[in-house]
Amino acid sequence: MNNKFLAASILSLKHTFQTGWLELNALRILILSEDAAKNLQQNLIVYMFSNSWLEQQEIAKLFQSLPLNLKDTAMNTLEIFEKRGLEKGIAKSEATIVRNLLLNTDFTLAKIAMLSEVSENFVTKIRDEIAARN
């Protein structure tokens, strides 16, 4: 690991919750990581932006200013990050639908699974979670 990446990591850690500072210096931090291995760059990008208060538009604008090789890494990382968030959102919605059907209807597990387009095992898992809370 080279010293520039270490400096970028420390600056990111120190200023993560200082949105104003981060907005002004995020580009510099990312450029410091330019010579680091791709996986280190990805980890830094995820850390910086998952813990910051920067809006998605601000992040996208920032990425447009990056050098081409770093921009590709940043954009690929952002796509992976967004995909994971979407998958989590879908899973949460499915669980909410199943929970509501379990609590508010007398449908069978099979019918709830069919209506919510999930497996019966998933419905059973949610039912058991509800039972454990009560």
The predicted-structure confidence for 7-24, as pLDDT tens digits, reads as follows: 999 998 888 778 788 778
CA dihedral 68, 33, 25, 84 (to 10 degrees): 80
Dihedral class, residue 103 (left if φ above 0, else alpha if ψ from -120 to 50, else beta) = alpha
The chain-wide mean pLDDT, for the chain, equals 87
List the domain boundaries for the chain: 1-66, 87-134
How do residues 33-64 score in pLDDT, each as one tens digit?
Answer: 988 898 899 989 888 887 777 777 888 888 88
Find the distance separating the first CA and the last CA of the chain, reported in whole Å. Answer: 51
- 71-130 pLDDT per residue, tens: 888 888 888 877 877 888 888 999 999 999 999 999 999 999 999 999 999 999 999 999
Q: Which amino acid is at 63?
A: F
The pTM of the whole model exceeds 0.75: no
Which of the four pLDDT bands, split at 50, 70 and 90, describes residue 2?
Answer: low
